Amino acid sequence: MSTNKQMNLGFLFQISGVHYGGWRHPTAQPDRATDINYYADVVRTAERGKLDFCFLADSIAAYEGSADKQDRSKDALMSAEPKRLLEPFTLLAALSMVTEHIGLVTTATTTYNEPYTIARLFASLDHISNGRAGWNVVTSANLAEAHNFGRDEHVGHADRYDRADEFIDVVFKLWDSIEDNAYIRDKAGARYALSEKIHFINHVGNHFKVRGPLNVPRPPQGHPVIVQAGSSHPGKELAARTAEVVFTAQQTLADGKAFYSDVKGRMAKYGRPTDSLKILPGVVVYVAETETEAKAKYDAVSSLVPPDFGLFMLSDLLGEIDLTQFDLDGPLPEDLPEPKGSQSRRDVVVDLARRENLTIRQLYQRISGASGHRSLWGTPAQIADQFESWVSEGAADGFNILPPYLPESMMDFVDLVIPELQRRRLFRTEYEGSSLRDRLGLAHPKNSVANVS
């Protein structure tokens, strides 16, 4: 089976891990949730494992969904750790000073930001980290975000994607507005810069009017790496056109292969080779020397999810429907009400329940660990087998690791799984190149405005 195809591995850094029982784990350190040294400890462990990048999934609200829902679920929410308590640009810039190689990726929404601001933050982070920045481009469909930015309703789907399309174009132009060699800094000749290499972009579109140039020189990577996670039709199109890394939640090898070939199949019409985009399904890993021990780790953290929060969270994933009307130890009813949120996210959860015949209680315990992503437990060899088969069979170019509880799950992964992958020659033993782009095997982008005056 082995083709020795190298895989890429990032990890999602949520404070005490992605599992909703994570912060209560005996080894978890939730009291350090605003201590920069805690974040430094975890990310340095990942760098010891030669991981490609650390990913901070961001949101610009404390909660998700409507204000009503926030009020209704207030008690449930108080038993969960927030997904984030620091702002990602400041956090990643700080982490860049205590690491040397690992990539630094965060979300920034195109719905409630301005392209000049976002272009500048990522360009600066890329300089400060010597070429390690990545941008997870999202649109905001979260009512709580709308309510923090002057809107009563969130922006409609088509409008959001139209704005996102234009937003990305403006950011690209701004990153390219000062050419790589514009600053000559000739002291004797009293010439700091060459005016022909600094460009007004004069962008005028449906959503934005931006003159430029950016006040940060072109990033060391040309463009920070573009990451996306949309699985709707316009989301996949945007990814096929602009993304270099795609995050996705896929529960089965068959689904993974279908998604992989769907997205890669859309790239040709944009003139892009398929290897210029890496598809990384998310996976929650519990690893130990024996399968029994690994399963025990899963069971231990699952038992730590408070039932009220588990039910709230499952309701949220299914599209804000009321689950208290159903028997927790019975199956998910066939005729669920219409979802308020993402249909595709709901489908993944419903499919999982049907496939494994889970009760509502079993389902929220399963989902509590993974936010709709796949969970795996086993020995290092079993985990590596799974990784290897997905990569060799065309379902993944690597994985986005979702540590269930931190810092321990990251240490387990680095100490047990990484050596097994290295032994099989499926993962690097030393960082190659100097940028995140180099590690992902992505080309340095051409300057799109260099010939425009």
Name the binding residues for FMN: 58, 107, 157, 161, 231-232
342 counts as binding its own copies under rule CB under 8 A: no
With CB under 8 A as the contact rule, which of the stretches 92-100, 224-232, 245-253, 369-377 interacts with its own copies? Answer: 92-100
* 97, 254, 258, 268: residue in contact with its own copies (rule CB under 8 A): 97
With CB under 8 A as the contact rule, which of the stretches 47-55, 96-104, 267-275, 376-384 interacts with its own copies? Answer: 96-104
At residue 204, φ and ψ (nearest 5 deg) are -135, 115
Q: What angle do CA 138, 224, 428 make, to 5 degrees?
A: 105
Nearest residue (CB) to its own copies, 112 versus 161: 112
* 2, 68, 82, 333: residue in contact with its own copies (rule CB under 8 A): 82
Closest approach, Cβ 80 to its own copies, in A, equals 6
Instruction: Identify residues 40-59 at the interface with its own copies (CB under 8 A).
Output: 59
Question: Residue type for 22, please?
Answer: G
Number of Cβ within 10 Å of residue 359's Cβ equals 16
Which of 263, 229, 264, 283 lies closest to 400, judged by CA? Answer: 283
452 counts as binding its own copies under rule CB under 8 A: no
Q: Are 104 and 129 in contact (CB under 8 A)?
A: yes
Q: What angle do CA 336, 339, 344 make, to 5 degrees?
A: 105
7 counts as binding its own copies under rule CB under 8 A: no
Closest approach, Cβ 390 to its own copies, in A, equals 34
What 3-state DSSP class applies to 421? Answer: helix
Instruction: Identify residues 171-200 at the interface with its own copies (CB under 8 A).
Output: 178, 183, 185, 187, 190-195, 198, 200
Q: What angle do CA 267, 269, 275 make, to 5 degrees?
A: 25
Distance CA 279, CA 257 (A): 11
125 counts as binding its own copies under rule CB under 8 A: yes
Instruction: Identify residues 279-318 at the interface with its own copies (CB under 8 A).
Output: 304, 306
31 counts as binding its own copies under rule CB under 8 A: yes
Chain centroid to CA 101: how far?
A: 18
- Show the binding pattern over residues 356-395: x = contacts its own copies (CB under 8 A), - = does not: ----------------------------------------
Give the 3-state secondary structure of 359-410.
EHHHHHHHHHCCCCCEEEEECHHHHHHHHHHHHHCCCCCEEEECCCCCCHHH
With CB under 8 A as the contact rule, which of the stretches 83-91, 246-254, 260-268, 423-431 interacts with its own copies? Answer: 83-91
Hey, what are 307's tokens? 């039932």
Which of 13, 10, 154 lies closest to 83, judged by CA? Answer: 13
Closest approach, Cβ 369 to its own copies, in A, equals 16
Instruction: Identify residues 58-77 at the interface with its own copies (CB under 8 A).
Output: 59-62, 67, 70, 74-75, 77
Number of residues engaging its own copies in binding (CB under 8 A): 78
- Show the binding pattern over residues 10-29: x = contacts its own copies (CB under 8 A), - = does not: -------------xx-x-x-
234 counts as binding its own copies under rule CB under 8 A: no
80 counts as binding its own copies under rule CB under 8 A: yes
214 counts as binding its own copies under rule CB under 8 A: yes
What 3-state DSSP class applies to 319? Answer: coil
Distance CA 313, CA 328 (A): 14
233 counts as binding its own copies under rule CB under 8 A: no
209 counts as binding its own copies under rule CB under 8 A: yes
Instruction: Identify residues 318-337 at the interface with its own copies (CB under 8 A).
Output: none
Q: For residue 282, how many C-alpha atoms fall within 13 Å in the half-sphere facing its CB?
A: 22
